[in-house]
A and B are shown apart, each in its own frame.
Chain A
Amino acid sequence: MSNVIQATTRDISGPLLELTDVKTYFKTNRGLVRAVDGVSFTLERGKSLGIVGESGSGKTVLSRSIMGLLPPKASIRQGSVRFEGREIFHLTRSQMRNIWGKEMAMIFQDPMTSLNPLMKIGKQIAEPLKIHLGMDQKTAWATAERLLQDVRIPEATRRLDQYPHELSGGMRQRVMIAIALACGPTLLFADEPTTALDVTVQAQILDLLNEQRKDRNMSLILVTHDLGVVAGHTDEICVMYGGQLVERAPTKVLFANMKMPYTEALMQSIPKIEDASHSRLLAIGGRPPDLVNPPQGCRFAPRCMYARDKCREEMPPLIETEVAGHFYRCWYPVGSPEYHESRARLNEIPVTVGEAS
């Protein structure tokens, strides 16, 4: 079967990754969980895309769906994922094996548990080189050493002979990056790559990822809950809520002119270093929707300060703004007359925030 994939001519001109109406549902005792519910986007070669959302928004399930890492029996998948012009969404695991590592790779959140504790660092990096690229032992170890230097691990030769527990968290994340980069993938997923790390180390890892992306002309999908992380390190951002894309725009456009009240609320709930201490935070009341029985209308409506009857009854489509590539899913977006009217009304009565989540 693998021959079939390789025989397909690669479409170098088109986008690297193209998602059309991707749906991933899980069967549970309570019913069908609509973890990802109709997501479409495209990603160009060499670009970086941030996927932002709270826990339960479907951002991790989406990235794993694209990679084909979900248990096939428990999940229902619909839609299309085209990678370099090939349809890959319905490939079997053994077919995906030819793509993993060589063309797509992933870095996980927790560097402590993603490495094999019983295997030396060198062997863990050399393994994919031997399997996917058919290198012999000597070449593989030499390449592994060079990779460790690429991710700026000091004393690379000595590190090859060490076990993961001998390295700090930041160093382990660098090893994870080295493994992911080993076979020269064209697309790298980083799922919350810095959440488990300290701020000073976080900055180093993000810079490293971006530098490697540019050097290798690789595309990067950065999955995170932190708007601060994506702001400085991506070309484009997708905001997810309740399994759907609710806003998508080039990074600078998004931050300059956010349309979706959810994106705005997410921004406002972050404590800012410039604000005086004890300043009141604008929290989003309530909690994310139950994806077994999602709200009928806009999924954010129950928590939205500006929601009206139409929002609760009718699901808004993804609308494109006058700026190319900027989409949002809202009937009364930030800046619309209705939004201003609601705001003025809210300013008259004291807003109660901080109800039970």
Chain B
Amino acid sequence: MAGTGTAHLRDGDALLRVENLVVEFPVGRTGLKVNAVSGISFDVMRGETLGLVGESGCGKSTTGRAVMQLRRPTSGSVLFEGQQLTEMSGDKMREARTRMQMIFQDPISSLNPRRKVRDIVMEPLSIWKRGTKAERDARVDEVLEEVGIDPQRAAESQPHQFSGGQCQRISIARALVLNPSLIICDEPVSALDVSVQAQVLNLLEDLKMRYGLTLVFIAHDLAVVKNVSDRVAVMYLGKICEVAPSDELYRQPAHHYTNVLLDSIPVPDPTVVVESTAIDGEPPSPVLPPSGCRFHTRCPAAQERCSAEEPTLREIASGHFVACHFPVYGGEAPVIVRTASATNN
């Protein structure tokens, strides 16, 4: 799973275009490094939602942060609205961030506990001195109403007086207030209960329609990602394995890793019997990643070639790209059947 290569990048009006992004962290003074993101490329069109899925440690959050330049990438290019972010100075970058915002996983700890909620949402406007005081007030009220928080209550209360779901709505309001074109959502619903999760996902969809937002949606839950995304990129150990329109990816996964991920989801239906555990073991360390395809150590279809040669992304169906020498379908051969099958009683 290698996923180097840029075959899947599209021509045209991409709002965000990331090429060969590499992020490495040094490991103490050992001279070793954590290969968190190893040369990934993707693009997001205006108004599109790109889902980034993978297990913990696959580099999906690091990718989100590197796009925002919260951690400057080791190498690679990040083009946002035609501007190269990696070469931008700190001041310029701060200004660019008014057009790209981020929502984090833990809604409670990402809000300042000592401030009133209304002030938290107001702060970006005050910093950038947008409009008059009255205009700012009106804008904050509008955004709070939009996400379903009573502005009156927001003026009087601090974050701890709201529930987790409401705090996530407040984070969304804060991200929206400057009218950004891109929002990066890093696991925005994984800390929420299912019933509340559905409310927040519906809200994100509504806001996307209303404001014409472009979203990068990072999550580990495949069903959640499918629900919100137009296109999905599956990551493993710092590489992209597969990119496809979301319905296509779930209907016909081509990469063995995608297959394994789909098989591992617990199905809320007791009549479905999954015969065996989908995969053994855990992802290897990103400090010393496996040679060749990084998934070959756990792959049910691995062959000699996989440990020697790194596959690049290639198109197997319209808009469907996979980085695998022997994909589940669309490859020359051999085609390996799924390891675990779901059968009805």
Contact B266 A226 (CB under 8 A): yes
- Min Cβ gap B176→A in Å is 16
Contact A255 B277 (CB under 8 A): no
Select B270's contact among A199, A204, A252, beta carbons within 8 Å: A252
Contact B220 A198 (CB under 8 A): yes
Q: Which residues of B contact A283 (CB under 8 A)?
A: 195-196, 198-199, 202
Counting from the closest, the 7 A-B pairs by CB-CB distance are A228-B266, A357-B165, A283-B198, A356-B148, A281-B198, A284-B195, A269-B198
Contact B267 A228 (CB under 8 A): yes
Contact A54 B194 (CB under 8 A): yes
Contact B166 A356 (CB under 8 A): yes
A199-B264, A202-B266, A273-B222 known; A357 vs B199 contact (CB < 8 Å): yes
Q: Which residues of A contact B262 (CB under 8 A)?
A: 273
Residue of A199, A269, A275 with highest tally of chain B CB at under 10 A: A199
Shortest Cβ distance from A168 into B: residue: B282
Residue of B55, B246, B270, B272 with highest tally of chain A CB at under 10 A: B270
Known: A273-B223, A273-B262. 10 other contacts (CB 8 A): A54-B193, A169-B56, A198-B55, A200-B279, A232-B267, A271-B226, A353-B199, A354-B198, A354-B199, A355-B148
A-to-B contact residues, CB < 8 Å: 54-55, 168-171, 198-204, 206-207, 225-229, 231-233, 251-252, 255, 265-267, 269-273, 275-285, 287, 353-357
Give the number of residue pairs across the A-B interface with Cβ within 8 Å.
155
Select A206's contact among B148, B229, B260, B266, beta carbons within 8 Å: B266
A265 to B195, CA, bound (A): 8
Contact A277 B227 (CB under 8 A): yes
Q: Which residues of A contact B220 (CB under 8 A)?
A: 198-199
Asked whether any CB of chain A lies closer than 8 Å to the CB of B314, the reply is no
A273 to B266, CA, bound (A): 11
Contact B271 A255 (CB under 8 A): yes
Contact A271 B224 (CB under 8 A): yes
Select B55's contact among A200, A271, A273, beta carbons within 8 Å: A200
Which residues of B244-287 have CB atoms within 8 Å of chain A's CB atoms?
246-247, 250, 260-274, 277-280, 282
Asked whether any CB of chain A lies closer than 8 Å to the CB of B175, the reply is no
Select B199's contact among A202, A227, A285, beta carbons within 8 Å: A285
Asked whether any CB of chain A lies closer than 8 Å to the CB of B96, the reply is no
Number of chain B interface residues as a range: 35 or more
Select A354's contact among B148, B221, B263, beta carbons within 8 Å: B148
Q: Which residues of B contact A169 (CB under 8 A)?
A: 56
Select B266's contact among A229, A269, A281, A355, beta carbons within 8 Å: A229
Shortest Cβ distance from A201 into B: residue: B282
A-B contact pairs, 17 of them (CB 8 A): A169-B56, A200-B278, A202-B264, A204-B277, A206-B266, A225-B194, A231-B268, A269-B195, A270-B198, A270-B223, A271-B224, A273-B222, A278-B230, A287-B196, A354-B198, A354-B199, A357-B163
Q: Which residues of A contact B197 (CB under 8 A)?
A: 269
Q: Which residues of B contact A255 (CB under 8 A)?
A: 268-271
A202-B264, A271-B201, A278-B205 known; A357 vs B196 contact (CB < 8 Å): yes
B-to-A contact residues, CB < 8 Å: 55-56, 148-150, 163-166, 169, 193-199, 201-203, 205-206, 220-224, 226-230, 246-247, 250, 260-274, 277-280, 282
Q: Which residues of A contact B202 (CB under 8 A)?
A: 280-281, 283, 353-354
Select B264's contact among A200, A270, A276, A279, beta carbons within 8 Å: A200
Contact B228 A356 (CB under 8 A): no
Q: Which residues of B contact A168 (CB under 8 A)?
A: 282
Contact B282 A170 (CB under 8 A): yes
Contact B278 A281 (CB under 8 A): no
Contact B206 A354 (CB under 8 A): yes
Q: Which residues of B contact A279 (CB under 8 A)?
A: 227
Select A356's contact among B149, B267, B268, B269, beta carbons within 8 Å: B149
A168 to B169, CA, bound (A): 33
Q: Which residues of A contact B267 (CB under 8 A)?
A: 228, 231-232
Contact A227 B198 (CB under 8 A): no
Shortest Cβ distance from B169 into A: residue: A356
Contact B55 A282 (CB under 8 A): no
